[in-house]
Each structure stands twice: as C-alpha cells, then as structure tokens.
Structure 1
Amino acid sequence: MDCFCYGSLRLLLDAHVAIQQDKLDAQIYPRTPKISNLLLLENDTNPVIQFLGRIMKRLGPATVVDTVAVYLIVYRLLRWRVYPVDETYQDIPVWYRPSTLQLTQPHALCIDFLAWPDLREYLISTLDPVQRVSFTKAIGESITVDWPSGREYLIRNDHGESILNSEFEEHIYEFKNWKLRRKPWGEKYPNLTHLVNIIDE
C-alpha cells in the first residue's frame, strides 16, 4: 500500500503538470477505459491506466466482475485528480467524492481509494495504525459489488464490440452494493465492520 501511495502521488503530479503545459493531454483520459484495460489485458499511453493495471494485478479483487468495478471508480477518481474540472468531478460517484476532511487533513493518499466514506473518515481522523499491506490485501480478498450471478456485465453494441452493460455501471454507482465479506475482512477487523457494508457468505 505504501507503493500504491507513492505511485499515485507521482502519477498525479506528473500528469497534472503535463496537462497544465498542454491542455490536449487531457484527451488521453477518456471517461471509460477500453474493455481490454478494465480486464487487465493491456495498458496504453494513459498514465492512469498504466498505473492501475500494475496495482490491480497485485492487489485487485478475486473476481473479474469486482475487478472491473473497482478499476472503474478508482480510474474516474484519479482522472479527476489529474484533470480537476467539473466534468470529471461529476463522473465520480457521490459517495466516492473526497470529503472536506479528506481535502483538508493530511493523510495517506491510499485512504482516498477506499469505497466507504465512514471508513475513510475514521482512518484519517484516528490515524488508526493498521498494517497497510495486510489491510489492503484483506480488502482485495473480501470486496464485492454483489453483481447477480449469471447477469452479463459486458454486452455487445451494434458494431459487435464489447462494452460495459449500462445496468452494471448503474449498479456499481449505488453505494449499498459495495460490500466486504465478513470472512476474512470482518473477522480480521471486527472493530471496523460498522463503518462498511458487510455481507455474510
């Protein structure tokens, strides 16, 4: 997780500076990455995608569906961080937008990528000394967006190309669908379960 923080900071600084020097650089940050990026099959010239691809392969969720969900919202948050305009801000789920505390209190940047606002606030305000690597690994092993089994998260458009199912995107924009399994995360951090959505399975 420390590498995640350092990598994120370098990415944000370098990309933000590049956009300030040439506004055309903003064009390399589309609203939604290519399906091949979301599935971790390839990276491209977009620095955010290059960074996320490396991190998701190391610390990402166990299932493809959950990986795509996490990738998409983290990408849109980083896209706004790199290019902070109203258009990119509005693309971030309301519950995922940085709070006043996040914007004013120094903290590990990695906390901003957690889906649960109460957990983010708690970790910032209490400086809870969690072991970052094991904490992140446990979240990766436990996170789910609870997408119904058997429903397609990818569909074909009129040109036969794979695209995200709009219903899937609507689903992951609902905060109630972002859950952590009681095993192993809830059992490892029982004092924090009230700060997230827990699922028993």
Structure 2
Amino acid sequence: MSEAEEYDTALGSSGPTNGASATKPKRRSRMISNLTRQQAQHKRDQDRRAQRALRQRNKDRIESLEIALSRLSSSHAEEAAARDDRLRTLVEENRQLQARVEQLSGHGTRYQSTTVTPPAFWASPPADIPPLEGQSPWDHGWAASPNITTRQQESRYDPIVDCSRVDVAAQATGEYQRSGINAGMALPDASQSPAVERPASSAVPTVHAALPNHLPPTCALDHILLGFLRFHSNTTSKEVAKDLAGPAQISLKLYLHPELTENVNPISRLMNEVLSTFSHVRAPEKISFMYLMHRTMRWQIFPTETTYSDLPRWLRPTATQVIVPHAAWIDNIPWPSVRDMLIENPEKYPFTLFSTVYSQCVTVNWPYDATDAITEAGDDFVPNKIFEKHIQRLGNWTVSRDFEEHYPEMVQRVYSRD
C-alpha cells in the first residue's frame, strides 16, 4: 500500500468518530451509585428541605382557606341576623300600618282623619295673632290677607348669608316672626269651622288614603297649612275637592307677578305667598320648596291614587309619619330618614332653628340660570319640565358644610339612598 492510500484510510476511519463525539456530549449520570458519599448526602439534604417547604406551603394554604371560610361563615351569620332584624321591623311596621288603616276606616265607608284634632288651646289663637274679623281668608280660594308680604324686599325675615352664624337669641322676637310669616296674618278660628273630615273612601283605605298623623299647630307655618287644609277638607263632594286640588303643576304666576291674582289655584296662591316672605332663599330652591309643599297639600286635600302617584317616591309619607303624631311642616322635608328623625326628636329639632338652617343651607344644584327653571304655559307660568325632573331626583338635594356642622347626625341620612 502506498503512502497516500494509508493516509486516506486513516482519515476515513477517524473522521466520523471525532464528529460524533463533538455533537453528542456525554450525559452525566445522576445515579447515587455514581456520586461520592458527600454528594449523595448533599442531595438527600436538598430533597428533605424541598419536601419540608412543600408541606409547609400546603399547611399555610389550608390554614388561610380555613380562616377565609370562618370569616365568610361569620359574615353570613351577621347578614342573616341583620335580615332577620329587618324582617321583624318590617313585620312590626306592617302591623302598625294595618292597625292605622283600620283606625282610619272608621265605621262603614267613612273615616275621619286624626291629622288635625283641634284641642281647646287651638280654638283660641295665641295672643300675638289678631282675632279673626269678618269673612275667613280661606273662603273662595284663600283670599290672601293684605298683611302678608308679597314682595321679597319687604320681607320681615332678615336674610342671613352664612348659616354657620345663625344667632337664635337674635331671632327671639316671637315665633311667628322667626318663621318668616307675618304675625299680622289672619288665621282661621278652629271653633268657627267644622271638624276636618276626609272625603269618603272604601271600607279599607288603600295606601294613598293613609294620611300623615298631625299634631295641632306648633308654629305659624303649621297654623297656615293646617288651617288651609282644615277649611278646605270639610267638603264631601269629590268634584269640589278635585277642583280645589287643581292641576299637578304649581302656578308660578304670583311668584313672577304678585299683582296678577286672578285665576290662580288656591293651593298655588297659598304656596307663593308663604314662600315670598323668604327673601334669603335662592330662586331655584324657593321654587323647589313650593313644588314640594304644593304636591303634599294637593294630595292631603284630595287623597287619590293620582295625587299620591304625583308625589315623588321619597316625599310619600313613611310609616312613622302615618303612625306618630307630628308637626305638619315636617312633611315637606325631602329626605325620608330626616323626617323620621325630626318626628322622633321634636324637642331636639325645633322648627325655629331647623327651618332657618334648612332654608339657607339646602341646595338643589340647578346648573342653569334661575329663569330657565320657569316656562310659560298659556297665560300661566309653571316649572320647566327639565327643572321638574331635576328636583325629582333626591340625589340633587344636598346640604352645605354649615348644615353638616349644625346637624352632623343627619349627614348620613341626607345622602343615604336606601
């Protein structure tokens, strides 16, 4: 064999072997038999630590799940207890309402309201109110007394810019002057008018016939509202009561033009002249107050399903209003829980102080000009539809910081939507 052939033979036999060894490295054996004693012990220690860590993780996870389960069980028990308490409260309220309905149903198909049961002291007006002379001002649609101020600049209610500075002592000039109503206003004498008697109803009155349970007048505003209600509720004619209730929309003609007194519904006339004395109240809030008082009075004079459904849901009387005797002015406060608080604590929230803070510190947050809240309807003026929808949302009724400082316990009830 030549020297070249020997070289080729050697190259061919060695080439594949070297390539295979380069591309396929030898695998390291992990068998314990191939490890030294120290390596084997180290591997056992690592395995033990890994197993202990795994067991600890499983134990911690189980404990966390058990804690979560315990918390859920506890909260569920608390919720169940709260639901049971609420259910018992509702059952009790339902029982009281049923008793109230039975009381209202009276004997047969007629019932008498206990809202205005005049005692002896109401038959004689307070000394600072002049006696009634001549024809009652409640006749023929409540002809307004000339003593009532109809222009804001003549109001006897001095405006207070900052309700955090309300000085009760400075207002101690007589309850009727403090309320913003002229003390010279003639009021009906309870001894000269028949007792209040609601229109005939079915044997078992429905919810729209469950009227608020009123105390005798506690302030000048109560005298006006209950006097008007009492004078106009003694008719048994549904047509007369319906005509008196008038349209659902309050007329704002007297608010814009006090001299235009013709063809104004009696309820609208009353609300316009009462609110005209509160010159410190901004126009959107004043119209909103009149709107609530008009809807409330309209339903109380003519308690039908229609007039009841015209009330915003949050303005409809609560069980407390129907069961517990209270001052009539409370019915016009927008927040149901606040009304209940006022009824349950009358000594803590007298009308004189609360009405001052309320009227100055409540806002309806109307984002447009005040003139946009009123629209023309033929020869009349009524609240704009957009404004009406705005004030029908209870969330738009808020209070200022000054109100919150005066009545911090009411803040949660004002902003609660339950």
2:233 and 2:241 in contact (8 A); partners too: no
Q: 1:136 is aligned with what amino acid?
A: S
Matched, 1:102 2:321: yes
Matched residue, 1:27? 243
CA deviation string 1:3-51 (max 9, x = no partner): 1112111111111113x24623522422112231454735566332333
2:242 and 2:302 in contact (8 A); partners too: yes
Q: 1:153 is aligned with what amino acid?
A: A
Higher relative contact order (CA 8 A, sep 6+): 1
- TM-score scaled by structure 2? 0.43
CA deviation string 1:70-114 (max 9, x = no partner): 111210111000111111111100000011110111111111111
53 and 150 in structure 1: CA distance in 2 versus 1, 3 angstrom threshold: closer
- TM-score scaled by structure 1? 0.83
1:59 and 1:137 in contact (8 A); partners too: no
In 1, Cα distance between the equivalents of 2:238 and 2:311? 24
Select which of 361, 365, 374 maps to 1:154. 374
Query: 3-state DSSP class of the match of 1:58?
Result: coil
In 2, Cα distance between the equivalents of 1:87 and 1:78? 13
What does residue range 43-54 of structure 1 map to in structure 2 within 5 Å? 43=261, 46-54=265-273
15 and 40 in structure 1: CA distance in 2 versus 1, 3 angstrom threshold: farther
Q: CA deviation at 1:182?
A: 1.7
2:252 and 2:268 in contact (8 A); partners too: no
43 and 26 in structure 1: CA distance in 2 versus 1, 3 angstrom threshold: farther
80 and 61 in structure 1: CA distance in 2 versus 1, 3 angstrom threshold: farther
Q: 1:49 is aligned with what amino acid?
A: S
Structure with higher Rg: it is 2
Matched, 1:190 2:408: yes
Select which of 208, 228, 231 maps to 1:14. 231
Q: Which has the higher helix share?
A: 1
Aligned residues: 195
5+ long unaligned stretches in structure 2: 1-178, 180-218
134 and 140 in structure 1: CA distance in 2 versus 1, 3 angstrom threshold: same
CA deviation string 1:121-165 (max 9, x = no partner): 1121233422311210111111211111348223456x6975532
Matched, 1:170 2:389: yes
Matched, 1:66 2:281: no
7 and 147 in structure 1: CA distance in 2 versus 1, 3 angstrom threshold: same
Q: 1:55 is aligned with what amino acid?
A: V
Q: CA RMSD for the aligned pairs?
A: 2.7
In 2, Cα distance between the equivalents of 1:47 and 1:90? 21
In 1, Cα distance between the equivalents of 2:380 and 2:333? 31
In 1, Cα distance between the equivalents of 2:299 and 2:327? 18
Q: 2:239 is aligned with what amino acid?
A: K
Q: 2:414 is aligned with what amino acid?
A: V
Q: Percent identity?
A: 23
130 and 4 in structure 1: CA distance in 2 versus 1, 3 angstrom threshold: same
Matched residue, 2:337? 118
Say which is worse superposed, 62-71 or 25-34, in terms of deviation. 25-34
Q: 1:68 is aligned with what amino acid?
A: I
80 and 38 in structure 1: CA distance in 2 versus 1, 3 angstrom threshold: farther
100 and 61 in structure 1: CA distance in 2 versus 1, 3 angstrom threshold: farther
In 1, Cα distance between the equivalents of 2:396 and 2:314? 12
5+ long unaligned stretches in structure 1: none
Q: CA deviation at 1:192?
A: 2.2
Matched residue, 1:83? 302
